[in-house]
A and B are shown apart, each in its own frame.
Chain A
Amino acid sequence: MKRSSLVPSLRRVLLALLVSACGSGKDDAPAPPAAESLLAPALRRLSVAELEQAARSVLGTPLDLQGSLPPDALQSDFSRNIAQSVDSLTLRQLYDATRRASEAVPLADPAFPSCAAQAQPGDTGCRDELLAKLATVAFRRPPSAEELTRLRALFVIGVEGSTFRDGAALVLRALLASPQLLYESSLGEGPAQNGARMLAQSELASGLSFMIRGTPPDTELLSAAAAGRLSSGSERYAQAVRLLGAPEAIPQFQRFVEEWLGLVQLPQLAKSSTVTTDFAASSRAMQSETRSFVADVLAAQRGSLIALFAGGYSIVPDELAPLYGIQPVPAGGRVVLRGMGRVGILQQGSFLSVFAHEGESAPVLRGKAVLTRVLCRTIRPPQEFGIDLMFPAPDANSTTRQRFERHAVDPVCRGCHSQLDSVGFSFENFDAVGRLRSTDAGQAVDTRGSITLNGAPLALKDSVELSDAIAHSEELRNCVARQVVRFASGRKDEHAEAAFVAEMAALPVTWRSSLLGLFLSYVKSDGFGWRLEQ
C-alpha cells in the first residue's frame, strides 16, 4: 500500500482521537511532578536520518548524509539515543558534505528570503533577514542577539572580495555543523520546583517533532513554542495529533518498530546457499512487507498492538509470495494468513530471518527476542553464571529441537533455557528464512512450547498461539510503553519507564493497546515535559 494512500486514513483516525476522551490522562496544569521518576537533563546528538531532515530544513533541498556519515550507534536498540556523539570522522565527513552542499546554495528556494537571490555583498538588510531566518530554522528557536552577531562576523568573512552567495554559503556551513543543530537539548530552563525543571518551550517543540516525525519542528510548532503554549500537556497532545497527520509520521513509526524488534539487522544478514539462492532480494521484500504492514496497522488499525502481533493478515510483496506459499495479490492488498501459520509480525520473514542462523533456525535467538524485546524481560548472559557458550554439534539425523534440547541438559543452563527454548521451539515450523516447513532432518517438526504470561503458565501448540496470547497481554502493553519511553528519551531509565507504565494503567485497555495511544500519552505526560534539576 502506498504511503500517500495511507495518510488520509491516518488523518481520519487522528480526528477521532482528537475528540476521544481516551487521550486524557493527567490534567495539563504545569505543576511540578515527583522528581524521582524524571529523566536527567541531556544533550542528544541527532541520528543521521534526523540530521538529514535538519539539514534539509535549512537548505531547502535534500542533503544525502546517510551515504557519507558513519552509521548510527544504537543504544537500547534505538538510533535516537543520548550516547551518540560527534567524533572526528563524523565531523570530517559532515564538514566535507556541507562544503559540497554550500557550493550550490539554492538562494531562490523559499527556504531563503526573497531578497537573497539578487542581493549584493553590501546588502546588510537582506543579510540580517537571511541570518535570522536560517538560524531560527537551524537552532529550532529564535537566535539570540549574540548568536546573530557571531553569524554576521562569519558572513563578512565569506563575502570578503566575493559575492552575497559566498557569504550565505559560509553561514550555511557554520549552521549545518553547529552544535546547536547537531544536539537536541533537553536541559530545562527557569527556576527549579521540587527538584524538577520544565523543558524550555523550544526544547519541547524539538522533542515533540523529532519523536513523532523525525523532523525539526515546523512553523506552527515553533509559533506554539514562541507563545509559551507547550507547557500544557493538552497543547502538546493536540500538536502531536496534528503532526501525526503528516506523511513523515509513518516512516517514524516504521523505524520505531524495526529498531524495537531488531529488524534493522535485516540488510546485514546473509543466508546459506543451502536455504536460499538470493537472500538479498528476499530480504528487501521482507523489509517492504514489514514496512507496509506497520503502515497499515498504524493508519487503518490505530496502531493496534493486537493487529501488529495477531492481526491475521499481512501485505506481501510479489517477490515474497513463493516463499510464503501464496499466490501474488494486487499491490498493497491485504492477504489473510491466519490458518497458514502466520498471524502477525513475529511470523513475518523479517523477524524469522533476523533471529535465525545462516543455515538453520535458532530457537534460542527467537525465544530471547520474544522475551527480551517484546516482553521486556531480562535474561542474564551465560557468562554471568560462569558458563562458556557451546553450540550444539551438527547432526544430520537430529532435528534442531533435539540438538538444542540435548545441549541444555545442564541444570545451570536449564534455568534460562527452559524459558528461552520453550518459546523459541514454537517457531520450529519456520526455517532460517521464515519458510514454512513440516519436517526437519527427515522428522516431523515439533512446535509445542510454553510461556508464563502474567504469572500463568500457558502451553502452546505453536507460535500462532504464542502471538495470540502475547497480543492481548498486559505484559506486552507495559513493555511497549517502556519502549516508547526509551525511543522518545534516547535511553533506558527504570524510574521513568515505571512511572509511565503506572500512568498508562489508569487508561482504558484499548488506548494503551495502541501505538498511537502510547505515543500521544507520552507526549502529554510529565515525564516528557520535565527533567530533574541538576
Chain B
Amino acid sequence: MTRSARISRRLALSALGASATLALTLPGQRSARAAEGRPKYFIGIYMPHGVARELWVPGPGFDIAYPDSVLAPFTDAATFGQSFREQILTIEGLDLSAGMAGGTVGHDGSRVLLTGSAGNGRNASLDQFLAVEQGLGQGMPLSSLVLGVGSPNPALGWCISYAQGGNALPKIIDPTDTFQQAFAQWVVGSDPVALAKAAAERKRGKSLLDYWRVELAALSARAPASERDKLEQHATALRDLEQRLDGELSACTPPTAPDPATFPRVQAYQGGEPYFDTVTNLQIDLLTQAIACGVTRVATLFLNDLSRTHLDPALPEDVHIDVAHRYESAGRDEQGGSPATWQALARQNRYTYSKIARLLQRLAERQLLQDTVLVALSDMGDPARHSSRQIPVLVAGGWGGRLKAGRHLDLGATGTPSNRLLVSIQQAFGVESDSFGQASDPAILTGNLDLA
C-alpha cells in the first residue's frame, strides 16, 4: 500500500481546510442531512438498569394510565402540559444480540445500545454516524452534544456515544459546561468592544485551526493505517471546532447561564447525588435550547439512577442493589415473582420516564417534537439477572411523519436483534442501508422494524 493511500479521503481533505467539512456519503447511501419529509433531530437517552416489566407493558388499547403504570408520566398533562401518549411507541422483544455474541453484556450493555456492536466494535454509534458520517451535524456549531448526569466515567458501561474507531465520547455532566460549550461564546451582547474582541478571537481561532490541520496532516502522512481512525477523529474534532467558531445562533434568545449555586456538586459518590434532579432538568432544558437555537441537531443523554439521591423516601438508599438487584419478575418462579419488588423498581422507572416526559414537553413547546427521533433505551431486560434480552425500548417524537406512535409493539420472546431498531432510525433519516453495527453473524445486523 502506498503511503498516500493510507490516509483516508476525509483526513486528507481536512488538511486542505474548510472544504473538508463536507461529509462523506457512502456509495449507494443517501445523506442524513436534514431534508424535507425527514426527521431533523436525533436524541438518544440511556436509562439505568432495566424496568419492572409487569408495570411497564401497556394494557389493552395502549393503556398506560393504569395504577402503578411505569409509563404514567406520559399521560400526566397536569405536570407536562399535555399527554404524550400519542407520541410514544413502546417496543418489547429486542435483545442486545451483538453484545451477547461478543461478550459485552450486563452493565457493559450500554456500549451496544446505539452502536449495535460489542466492546470490540469499531463503528460509530448511531448518533455519531448520523452527525459526522452522514452530515446531519454539518454546519452546526456543535456536530453533537454528548451529555450525562452524575459520572464522567468513559469506561465500558458508562457511555452510549462512540466515535468511528470505537472510542467512547466523553460526556458533559456539569450544566455550566453544557452552557459554556453550547452558548457562551455567542453571548457577547452589543457592546462594540466585546464584539471586536469576539471577532479577533475568531480570527485567531481560524489561524490556529489552519496550523493544527497542517500539523495533523504531516503526522498522518507518517502514521500507519492502524492509526487512521484515531487521526480521523482528531480531524473531526478540528472540524467541530471550526463549526463552533463559525457558528451563529439562529433566531433564538440564548438561555441564561445556569446558577452553579443550585448544584454545588455534580459527581456521584462525591456529594453530587442530592443535585441530580436539578442537573438532569438543566441538561434537558439546555439540550432542547441548543436544538432550538440551531447549535446542534444530535444529542445523547446518559441518565444516572436514583441511588443516594433521597429524592424518593419510599425507596431505599441504595436503589441499585436494594431495588434493581432485588427485583423478582413474574416469570422468575412458579410463585409468580414478588409484586412488592415490581412496585419499588417501578417508582425508579417512573422517575426516569418523568424526565423523558419533561424533554418531550420542552421539545413540544418549541415545535421541535414533530421533527425529532427520540429513543430511550436501557441496558437490561430483567435487571436482577443483568439480562441483555428483552430490553425495554421507548421511541418518541414525530420522526418527520415516519412513526406510527400511540401503540405497543411486541416482537415476541424469540429475541429480535436491537440492531433492527437502529436500521429503522437511520432509514428514517434517509440512509438507504439495511444493516447497522458490527457482529460476526450478519443476521444480527440486518433488517428493520415496521415502525411507520
Contact = CB atoms under 8 A, between A and B. Distances in A.
Given A173-B208, A383-B106, A90 B237 contact: yes
Contacts of B212: 174, 177-179
B269 A269 contact: yes
Interface string A19-47: 00000000000000000000011110100
B385 interface: yes
B318 A359 contact: yes
Interface string B111-129: 0000000000000000000
A332 B75 CA distance: 61
Nearest to B152: A71
B103 A381 contact: yes
Interface stretch (A80-88, A115-123, A309-317, A434-442): A80-88
Interface stretch (A214-222, A232-240, A242-250, A389-397): A389-397
A170 B207 CA distance: 9
A365 interface: no
B214 A389 contact: no
A42 B227 contact: yes
Contacts of B318: 270, 272, 358-359
Interface string B207-225: 1100110111001001111
Interface in B210-250: 211-212, 214-216, 219, 222-227, 230-231, 233-234, 236-238, 240-241, 244
Nearest to A161: B200
Given A71-B170, A179-B216, A383-B103, A268 B153 contact: yes
A41 B270 CA distance: 39
Contacts of A43: 219, 223, 227, 230-231
Nearest to A182: B234
A157 B207 contact: yes
A401 B137 CA distance: 53
A383 B105 contact: yes
A92 B165 CA distance: 20
Contact of B270 (A89, A185, A267): A267
Nearest to B307: A270
Contact of B222 (A83, A177, A187): A187
B181 A180 contact: no
Contacts of A72: 154
Nearest to A72: B154
A403 B387 CA distance: 21
A441 B307 CA distance: 25
B170 A90 contact: yes
A96 interface: yes
A150 B269 contact: no
A179 B219 contact: yes
A111 interface: no
Contacts of B216: 179
Contacts of A270: 268-269, 307-308, 318
A178 B224 contact: no
Contacts of B146: 89
B230 A154 contact: no
Interface in A265-320: 267-270, 272-273, 280
B167 A73 contact: yes
Interface in B35-71: none
A479 interface: no
B209 to A, nearest CB: 10
Contacts of B385: 388-390
A267 B317 contact: no
Contacts of A158: 204, 207
Contacts of B214: 150
A85 B155 contact: no
A87 B163 contact: yes
Contacts of A404: none
Interface string B191-213: 00000000001011101100110
Interface string B150-166: 01111100000001011
A89 B181 contact: yes
A534 interface: yes
A507 interface: no
Interface string A44-73: 010000000000000000000000001111
A178 B204 contact: no
Given A154-B207, A179-B212, A383-B106, A268 B268 contact: yes
Nearest to B382: A388
A267 to B, nearest CB: 7
A150 B213 CA distance: 12
Contacts of A185: 219, 222
Contacts of B171: 70
Contacts of B165: 85
A224 B165 CA distance: 37
A164 interface: no
Interface string B424-452: 00000000000000000000000000000
A91 B386 contact: no
B8 to A, nearest CB: 15
Contacts of A394: 326
B384 interface: yes
Contacts of B255: none
Contact of A42 (B154, B226, B325, B386): B226
A112 interface: no
A287 B225 CA distance: 41
Nearest to A183: B219
A178 B210 CA distance: 11
Contact of B240 (A71, A92, A268, A389): A92
Contacts of A183: 219
Contacts of B172: 89
Interface in B158-194: 163, 165-172, 180-181
B271 interface: yes
Nearest to A162: B200
A87 B241 CA distance: 10
B268 to A, nearest CB: 7
B18 interface: no
A410 interface: no
Contacts of A41: 223-224
A74 interface: yes
Interface string B382-394: 1011111100000
Contacts of B387: 388-389
Given A157-B207, A383-B106, A391 B384 contact: yes
A88 B143 contact: yes
Interface in A373-391: 381, 383-384, 388-391
A174 B211 contact: yes
A213 B7 CA distance: 33
Nearest to B219: A179
Nearest to B239: A88
B170 A150 contact: no
Contact of A85 (B230, B317, B382): B230
B100 interface: yes
A357 interface: yes
A359 B321 contact: yes
A324 interface: no
Instruction: Please list the 5 inter-chain residue pairs (A to B) with the smallest Cβ-Cβ separation, ordered nearest first.
Output: A70-B170, A91-B237, A88-B240, A389-B386, A86-B234
11 contacts: A42-B226, A71-B153, A92-B244, A150-B214, A150-B215, A170-B208, A183-B219, A359-B318, A383-B105, A388-B385, A394-B326
Given A70-B154, A359-B318, 14 more contacts: A42-B224, A43-B219, A74-B155, A83-B167, A85-B163, A87-B169, A87-B233, A88-B143, A91-B241, A154-B211, A178-B211, A179-B219, A270-B307, A384-B103
Interface of A: 40-43, 45, 70-74, 83-92, 95-96, 99, 147, 150, 154, 157-158, 170, 173-174, 177-180, 183, 185, 187, 267-270, 272-273, 280, 357-359, 381, 383-384, 388-391, 394, 534
